[in-house]
Amino acid sequence: MPNLKKIRLELARDHDYPQGSSQHGYEFVAPIDANGAIMPNEWKAHRDQCRVKRFWGQEAPEVGHLIRKPGGSWAFHYDIDGDIDDDDAGYRFGTHAFQSGEYVSIREQDEEMRTFRVVSVTPLERV
């Protein structure tokens, strides 16, 4: 699976979680280049494999896909009901480096912008 990586994001420190939280975040698959950038052409070729799981404490996980929106922005779209208002939008995902220790922001469904730390980027294993 060329360049496909499994990325784990965990909630960074914020007003609700002053220490951050490993129980709140996202795991997703995306084609990542050597600099940690999402590769749009590779994503297009492997979009069905670019899955996301949002985990949030005791809530049931939400499962969906990494999508590219008009204009080139990236979001997590959940398979629940197909409503685009339920997408979690990555803030400038197209320019971020997905490398361990980096931080990214996501505007969640409730319109709250939260910051997450990249805790791991590992090659996707063949299933």
- In a domain? residue 127: no
- In a domain? residue 125: no
Hey, is 98 helix, strand or coil? coil
Total length of the chain: 127
Hey, is 49 helix, strand or coil? helix
Hey, is 58 helix, strand or coil? coil
- In a domain? residue 56: yes
pTM: 0.90
How many independent structural domains does the chain possess?
1
Across the range 109-124, mean pLDDT stands at: 91
- Residue 57's domain comprises 4-119
String of DSSP letters for 9-48: EEE-S-SS-TT-EEEEEEEEEEEB-TTS-B-HHHHHHHGG
- In a domain? residue 76: yes
Each residue's pLDDT tens digit, 25-45: 999 999 999 999 999 999 999
The pLDDT confidence band at residue 127, using thresholds 50, 70 and 90, is very low
Q: How far apart are alpha carbons 89 and 102 in whole angstroms?
A: 18
- In a domain? residue 20: yes
Across the range 10-36, mean pLDDT stands at: 94
